[in-house]
Structure 1
Amino acid sequence: MYSNFLISNEVQFWLFLTAFIPSVGCSIFVLYHLISNRTQRHAINNRVIIVLISNNLIYELIDIPLFLNYYRLEAVWPNTPGLCLMWIFIDEALYSISTVVLAWASIERHILIFHNRWWSSTRRRRLIHFIPLVSLVFYIIIFHTVFILLPLCENTYDYTQELCGHKICLHNTKIVGTWDSIMNDILPTLIIVGFSIALLVRVLLQNRRVHQHIQWRKHRKMAIQLLSISILYSLLYIPIMCIVLAQLCCISQDSGDIFIQYGRFFSYYVTFLLPFVCFITLSKCSYKFKDMFPNWHRPARLIHPMPLPMMTVAAERPNIM
């Protein structure tokens, strides 16, 4: 499966490690900033970001070390079915949670910005915000628990490949494999792209209306935040989603494998880059970072010339003889 992959395991190890360490640090800092501040923690637009970053951090702390260990040893260790099931579950479930949650955020941002009256009561906030978000997360966890951790068939694992060969037996069932690819991967990605483009168009039209300029400034940060994250997902996920969709309907499974290998490898950089995109779009983060490390941003001392005190010298009168 990976014979044509031109990036060696050693290079993959260092590419992941050099991105993994700063990404974890940035994730912890962004979460600390959002959770420690009561105003930031209770802001509706930040709750999706907290879910995304938390899910992303768990993914990094469990999934990425397993990849690093595989690249270092060039084999899965310890080579047990339990480790393979856990690795595949984390990789599949947390990946789908990020994609589905961001797809919902792409829809929710339209409501937050252009229909903010819908949030006027606690009942509406629960109905529109909490219930869809919690339901989507539970759906992904239950789906992958049933079809990965509690399989009705026997899986076979290849301990010489990353993710133990990745395929599980229920993926061979066309209905399950097609549902997983379309509903958990392709459709959320299309929603992210479609609603992000729609948000950008509505933002540009809104910005041209002079009488709504003050109201728009209040929501500009939410729009920029979503668009930045959506661009990151689109650039790194769209290519692999297009190939998977083509394999489902048009081309053979083997014809796009080499492109999926490269697309899958570089799609992990969404995980590495997401905390930095969130850090940049959270304006108050940079100020808190400066407060935590004041010596890093200490302004240079300027030396100003000091005026000397004026001295009055009285001229002596010459003696006239």
Structure 2
Amino acid sequence: MTANNSSNSNTAVFSNSEMSLPRPIRFWLLVIFNIPSVICSFSIIIHIIMDRVQRYALQNHTILLILIIYLPIQLVDINFYLVFFHYGYVSPSKPIVCLLWWFADYGCFIGGLILMACTYVYTLSVCGASPCYQSYGILGEWEFIVNSSISIVLESIVSIGLIVRVQRQKRRIHQSTQWHKYRRMIIQLFLVSSVDLSLNLPFYLIAFAHLCGLPQEYGAQLQLYFFFLGYFAIFLFPFASLCQFPELRKTIKNKIIAVLPRQLYRRTPVGPVTVTIPMVQQQ
């Protein structure tokens, strides 16, 4: 297994395959899920910043940071995808567009900076799927293993470890664990971790199998599907974070109810009406 082949697995999938799901369907799926997700993200960010209690709560700092990091993906990365699905190529076809797209897709999603001059493929999504530094031995392997795969696995381990730590601390100070007090935390950890693992982990498992010698043609379509579904982990994260803010949930619910019609007006059918006028007899 050469280093070049191992780090090029993701690029080969994008270059040689097209997802069987039609582009118009992918276009509308991204639009339908991204718009309410962006609105929810801004609502939570504004709520945390404007509310002093929420702003000083340490558990909200991580949520705020993740939402801010995800916003460039939702506002830049997704919009570039919509343009690509509409035209069939990157528009405008300029290097700065690909750098911006890569920065939003890789810099914000994985956390790496793109500083190298690369060759861009304007007829492929994400300008060829990955920056050129991923094609060079240890850099590509480090990006895939440390920055991507391990971080997803650690997310579930740390989430479970947090619950175990609370349980052990309660036992140490001889207090019974009242799980109903931690219900919101457990639900939030479960929602975020399960969504992220179910949508992102299969993609990296297939890529890891390719690194171990599985031919690139096996699982290529499945990997493309999981790459696309990985964006839904970003879309669903703001809604999972709402578990932490019951007052904000109530406010959003009231605003939605106020916007929607409170009742459906029924139209009474109009038809000919027969009126009987009694005859008046003259005396």
Class of the TM-score when normalised by the shorter of the 2 chains: 0.7 to 0.9
Q: Does 1:14 align with 2:28?
A: yes
- Structure 1 stretch displaced more, 2-11 or 62-71: 2-11
Considering Cα pairs closer than 8 Å and 6+ residues apart, tell me whether 1 or 2 has the greater RCO. 2
Moved over 3 A (4+): 1-4, 197-211, 216-220, 252-256, 290-300
Q: Does 1:247 align with 2:261?
A: no
Q: Does 1:45 align with 2:45?
A: no
Letter in 1 for 2:62: V
Identical columns (%): 31
Choose which of 178, 183, 201 in structure 1 pairs with 2:141: 178
Q: CA separation of 1:3/1:294 partners in 2, compared to 1, >3 Å: closer, same or farther?
A: closer
Query: Gaps (5+ residues) in structure 1?
Result: 97-139, 301-321
Alignment of 1:212-291 (within 5 A): 212-214=176-178, 217-290=180-253
Q: State the alpha-carbon separation in 2 of the partners of residues 50 and 218 from structure 1.
A: 23
What per-residue deviation string (whole Å, max 9, x for no partner) do you get for residues 83-134 of structure 1?
11111121001111xxxxxxxxxxxxxxxxxxxxxxxxxxxxxxxxxxxxxx
Q: Give the conservation status (yes or no) of the 8 Å contact 1:290–1:297.
A: no
Q: CA separation of 1:160/1:238 partners in 2, compared to 1, >3 Å: closer, same or farther?
A: same
Shift of 1:194: 2.1
Q: Give the conservation status (yes or no) of the 8 Å contact 1:34–1:46.
A: yes
Alignment of 1:1-321 (within 5 A): 1=15, 3-96=17-110, 140=111, 144-145=112-113, 148=114, 150-151=115-116, 155-199=118-162, 211-214=175-178, 217-290=180-253, 295=258
Letter in 1 for 2:37: S
Decide which structure has greater helix share: 1
Q: CA separation of 1:83/1:37 partners in 2, compared to 1, >3 Å: closer, same or farther?
A: same
Shift of 1:226: 2.2
Q: State the alpha-carbon separation in 2 of the partners of residues 266 and 202 from structure 1.
A: 32
Shift of 1:22: 1.1
What per-residue deviation string (whole Å, max 9, x for no partner) do you get for residues 271-310 of structure 1?
111111112442222233356567469999xxxxxxxxxx
Secondary structure of the 1:264 match is helix
Secondary structure of the 2:108 match is helix
Shift of 1:199: 4.3
Q: State the alpha-carbon separation in 2 of the partners of residues 293 and 4 from structure 1.
A: 39
TM-score relative to the length of structure 1: 0.69
Shift of 1:195: 2.6
What per-residue deviation string (whole Å, max 9, x for no partner) do you get for residues 17-67 of structure 1?
111111111111111222211000110001000111111222211111111
Q: CA separation of 1:75/1:297 partners in 2, compared to 1, >3 Å: closer, same or farther?
A: closer
Q: CA separation of 1:5/1:291 partners in 2, compared to 1, >3 Å: closer, same or farther?
A: closer
Letter in 2 for 1:261: L
Query: Gaps (5+ residues) in structure 2?
Result: 1-14, 264-283
Q: Give the conservation status (yes or no) of the 8 Å contact 2:199–2:233.
A: yes
